[in-house]
Each structure stands twice: as structure tokens, then as C-alpha cells.
Amino acid sequence: MVNLRTFVLAVAALVLPLSTAAAAQNEITIARSVSTTAMDPGFLREAATIVDNIFDTLVMRDDDMKLVPGLADSWKAIDDTTWQFNLRHGVKFHDGEDFNADAVKFTIDRILDPAANSPTISYIRTIASVEVVDPYTVRIKTNGPDPLLPTRMSRYPTYIVPPKYVQKVGNDVFARKPVGTGPYKFVEFIPDQHVILEANEDYWRGKPSIKKVTWRAIPDGTARVTALITGEADLVENVPVDLAPMIEQSPDADLVQVKNGGLTIYLGLVMKDKPLDNVKVRQALDAAIDRKGIVDNILRGMATPKGTQVGPADFGYLDIPPTKYDPQKAKELLKEAGYPDGFSIKMQSSHRYMKDGEVAQAIAQQFGDIGVKVDQEVLDWSVYTQQVPRKGPIFMLGWGSTQTLDADAAIYAIMRSGEPYSTADVPELDKLLDESRKIVNPAAREKVLHEVQKVAAETVPLLTLYQEDSLYGKAKDVVFAGRQDARIPVFDIKLKSAE
């Protein structure tokens, strides 16, 4: 028979190691909401957060999001369709292989190969060919003028991979055991469990301060925040809005809020369907939404009401104030449009963005206030992506320039008629958008992009709502400010206790 004392001792033995295991020197655990499936940067189907620490790109972004030299020392446009990159000397991959022009050519050719079916080929679709001039010089030719080419060289899929290693082990093994030039070397990957990386002491930018990183996936928001507060994780991504106060109040953790670090949420309108083809109806719906009320009360101020889809950090941004909340004017507009008693319409949303379920219900209620009866449909994301944007007729989506930080990425795909994700159909917008893609001169391009945003604000092809902040939680000991482009460069993270 087990007596009580033995039992208590046994429980203590189970519980006690917990308190001592947490504080290890210069190691951190980062918890994300999604699992990693593969780490081949050319064939990612997920955010590049982990890969970003193993590999480098030719061009990098500093903390202010300015393009700075990465594996390329410098670059310049030679003519309208040719960019030359001069590469850094003396950089080696983690397995000792040399980084050079061949590696760059191999990296890009591998993605462009139609047989490879890269899911991210669209990001570098403009590239026609890569030419090796000498071991440390490459020229990239584009199909037409492409002012964004250096930007394309700063994000996935163009992380530079080691040709010999990839050819030796094949793509499948490479995706599980990646080798790059980056600040961290791959150690271990157990799916759904963790990815472990260790510092690359020979890194060309210097020795990383953090020696070991463990990436874990904790899908449930409450469990993820609990892990931070109990010290099981030192940094967590994707903090649910309503748990933010808990982190702020915790003596052990801080909230990191990156203003405008997230996507811009909008309601797409299928413009070919009645009554959304009527601009007055679209304007009425626009004025019926209380953006400030939603942001303040539902999102706890963790977002910014917006009047344009372009983010303030993007090239080409024009500061357009959000549409004023005016239900009275909305009702009048509806009357002018010939719908004095409103109408019924279906609105689709999913579970993907900050409290999108609550926001969709609040908007449905506000539309109801002006007589527009909303029939809500909330679908699982997997089903949603198949129906959006064709079904609608109103649907919620988030979009952003993400790592491109250029207005083109934020608007072209959702406002140019005929694009896969666009339900807009405004000829004037199409003309301007097409024009913007043909201009290389930055000042002239910026002017056209401003014009696009003005026209969009008048014709309302979609209802821009707000731009999300991105929220992280970190242990007090961790130095991390968050970045506009949502990367987590562990190279820049430090522990106070280790200094």
C-alpha cells in the first residue's frame, strides 16, 4: 500500500524539476501558433519565420525597413531589364561550401524550373534569367522593367541555398535538414514538436548572442500565453487581443505591440452582383461601419482605422482618413440608390484574423441599422479560401504588402479586375494600376500610386476597415522590439541576464 508520504514525495519529484529547468543561459524558446512543415526556402507554404534565421538573402532590411546589403555588397540597374549584384566574399554555408555566383544562379533557376512546381514562383515571376559574370558577380534579367527586383531579392523564395548539398541530398531531405549561410545552424526538427537551431559562430555579421533557439508550436491562444507566463516559452507570436492585458499585468512578461505590423482587413465586394454594382450602395455600406467603435471596443485599440489599403510603411502610401461613420448619410445614400428599405445580402468570413468573428458580427449589426439585412456565413479557412472571392457577395479578407513594403503588392492583386483575388471592376482603376507597373522612375510611380488610392476612395471597390498591429509576448529578460515585416531575427535578440 502506498502511504501518503510516499505519494507526496512522488508528486514532488514530478513537479520540482520544472522550476530549475527554465533558467538556462543564452538559450531561448519561441512559441508560434502554427507548426513548421518544411524548411526549404524555395518551396515554402508557410511564413518564413524560422527559415529566415538559417538562410540569408542578397538584400536585407534593417530595423527601419530600409534595403541594405546582405549577401550582396551592392547592386545597380544596368538597363531597364538588367540588375547587377556584386556578392560578398568569404561567406561559407554551414557545411563549408562556398557562397558564390553559382549558388545564386542555382537558387533562382531551381524555383523558376516549371517542373519543380514551386508554390512561391509568383513572387519572382518577373525574372527571365540569371547570368554568372564572374564568381562574385551576377546579372538578373527581367521580362520587363521591374522596379521591385531588389525587394524580391530580400525575401523568400530567394534565400540562397547551397547547390552541392541540395544536389547531393535532394529537395526532400533538404527541406528537413536545411543548410544555409545564416546566423543559425539547423540541429533538429521533429514535426509538431520543435525545431532546434544553434548559433553559427562563423557568421559573417558576427557571433550571435543567443546560442540555442527552440521553436515550438502551440496552436491554442490561451495555452500559448500561459506558456509565456509560466516561463515555458520566452517569446510568443500571435498574442490574442483579449489576452494582451494578462501579459501586460504579468510580473514576468511584457507585451510587444508593433503598430501597423499586420495586415489591412477589408470587406471585399463582388461588384458584378446587384446591388453592389451601384456606387451609392457601396458608399452607403462604407459609411455604415463604425470603424473606431470596432477598433476601440473589440480590438482593444490594437489596430488603426484606415482609409486606404496601403500601409504607412509602404512605398507609395497616401494618408487618406478612414470613412466617417454616418448611418444617417448611409440611409440617404441607400434611398438615392433606389433601396429605401434596404436589402438582404450574404456576408462570408472565417477565423483567421484578430477577432474576425466578433468584427463580422458587429458589422452585420451595423449594416442592420441602415436596413441592410446580413445573412452571415462563417466558414472554416480551408473551405473559405475556395469560395472567396468568387462567392461573397461580401467577404472579409486581410491583405498587405508584407515583406515587399510597396503599395503595388498591397493593392494590385485585390483591385485590378480579373486578378484571382480581385472582385473589383473599375476601368479607371485598372488603367492606373497597369500604368504603375510600367514605370521605373520612383517619383513618377509614386504619383500614379497616389492617384490609384484617391480613385479607390471615391469609387469604393472594397471597404477598407483597419490595419492590425502585430502582438508578441516576451519574457522580461528578452530584448526584442518586433519588426514591421513580422520577421523574428534571433540574431538581433539578446538576453538581459547574459550581458
Q: Choose between 364 and 462: whose C-beta lies nearer to another protein.
A: 364
Contact assessment for residue 478 and residue 255, using Cβ atoms and an 8 Å cutoff: no
| 3-class secondary-structure state, position 59 | strand
Minimum CB separation of residue 381 from another protein in Å reads 6
Region 287-306 residues binding another protein, contact defined as CB under 8 A: 290, 293-294, 297-298
Q: Does 380 bind another protein (CB under 8 A)?
A: yes
Q: Does 169 bind another protein (CB under 8 A)?
A: no
Contact assessment for residue 101 and residue 137, using Cβ atoms and an 8 Å cutoff: yes
Region 315-354 residues binding another protein, contact defined as CB under 8 A: 351
Q: Does 123 bind another protein (CB under 8 A)?
A: yes
Closest CA to 272 of 417, 429, 431: 417
Q: Does 37 bind another protein (CB under 8 A)?
A: yes
From 81, 82, 129, 171, residue interacting with another protein (rule: CB under 8 A): 171
Q: Choose between 26 and 361: whose C-beta lies nearer to another protein.
A: 361
Neighbours of 132 (CB within 10 A): 16
Q: Choose between 23 and 133: whose C-beta lies nearer to another protein.
A: 23
From 69, 135, 145, 221, residue interacting with another protein (rule: CB under 8 A): 221
From 120, 151, 200, 436, residue interacting with another protein (rule: CB under 8 A): 120
Closest CA to 51 of 164, 186, 149, 207: 186
The DSSP output letter for 342 is -
The DSSP output letter for 123 is G
φ and ψ at residue 174, rounded to 5 degrees: -55, -40
Q: Does 386 bind another protein (CB under 8 A)?
A: yes
Euclidean distance between CA atoms 498 and 455, whole angstroms? 53
Neighbours of 281 (CB within 10 A): 25
Q: Choose between 72 and 475: whose C-beta lies nearer to another protein.
A: 475
Burial category of 72 from C-beta neighbours within 10 Å (exposed 0-12, middle 13-18, buried 19 and up): buried
Minimum CB separation of residue 298 from another protein in Å reads 7
Q: Does 251 bind another protein (CB under 8 A)?
A: no
Euclidean distance between CA atoms 251 and 128, whole angstroms? 55
**Cβ neighbours of residue 328 closer than 8 Å, sequence gap 6 or more:** none
From 20, 117, 328, 344, residue interacting with another protein (rule: CB under 8 A): 117
Q: Choose between 189 and 203: whose C-beta lies nearer to another protein.
A: 189
Contact assessment for residue 142 and residue 156, using Cβ atoms and an 8 Å cutoff: no
Q: Does 113 bind another protein (CB under 8 A)?
A: no
Q: Choose between 218 and 271: whose C-beta lies nearer to another protein.
A: 218
Minimum CB separation of residue 358 from another protein in Å reads 5
Q: Does 217 bind another protein (CB under 8 A)?
A: yes
CA distances from 460 to 166, 268, 282, 493 (A): 48, 10, 6, 42
From residue 431 to residue 460, the character string flagging contacts with another protein as x (rule: CB under 8 A) and all else as - is ------------------------------
> What's at 449, amino acid-wise?
L
Region 12-31 residues binding another protein, contact defined as CB under 8 A: 14-15, 17-18
Number of residues assigned to the chain? 499
Region binding another protein by CB under 8 A among candidate stretches 145-153, 179-187, 195-203, 221-229? 221-229
